[in-house]
Amino acid sequence: MAEVNQQGCLFVGEGVVLKGNFDVPDIASISGTVEGELTAKQVLIEATGIVRGKLTGESIDIRGEVNEYISSTRSLIIRSTGKVTGSINYSEIEIEKGGHLHGDLHNLNPHS
């Protein structure tokens, strides 16, 4: 879907290393490495993707690796190849079997 309309999207290819803070209005698809803060509406961390730093977004889908911090206001999915360490804030979470989770988990809206 992102390939059709790439406005407001960030694609980091495999082997690419980005350092800094990134504010992405739409989709951020990461196959390379991001060091720093990344904020996007929708985040896809592909199997080769690595984020070292803070990751915030509405929907976050992780097949790669994320360290330090994640905050997801809508849905957080850790796929079977995904590896997450650090502090995690979510409103809805799903972890596929084989997914790696190490850290503190907080529910943003623990009611009901």
Nearest to 17 by CA among 40, 47, 50: 50
Helix (H, G, I), strand (E, B) or coil at 16: coil
Long-range contacts of residues 37-41, Cβ cutoff 8 Å, at least 24 apart: 40/10
How many residues bind another protein (CB under 8 A)? The answer is 19
For residue 92, state whether it binds another protein (rule: CB under 8 A).
Answer: yes
Contact range with another protein by CB under 8 A, out of 18-26, 37-45, 53-61, 88-96 = 88-96
For residue 98, state whether it binds another protein (rule: CB under 8 A).
Answer: yes
Cβ atoms of residues 55 and 66 within 8 Å: yes
Question: Cα angle vertex 44, ends 101, 67, to 5°?
Answer: 35
Contact range with another protein by CB under 8 A, out of 2-10, 14-22, 50-58, 101-109 = 101-109
Q: Please identify, using beta-carbon distances, which residue of 23 and 94 lies nearer to another protein.
A: 94
Q: Binding residues for another protein, per CB under 8 A?
A: 75, 77, 92-107, 110
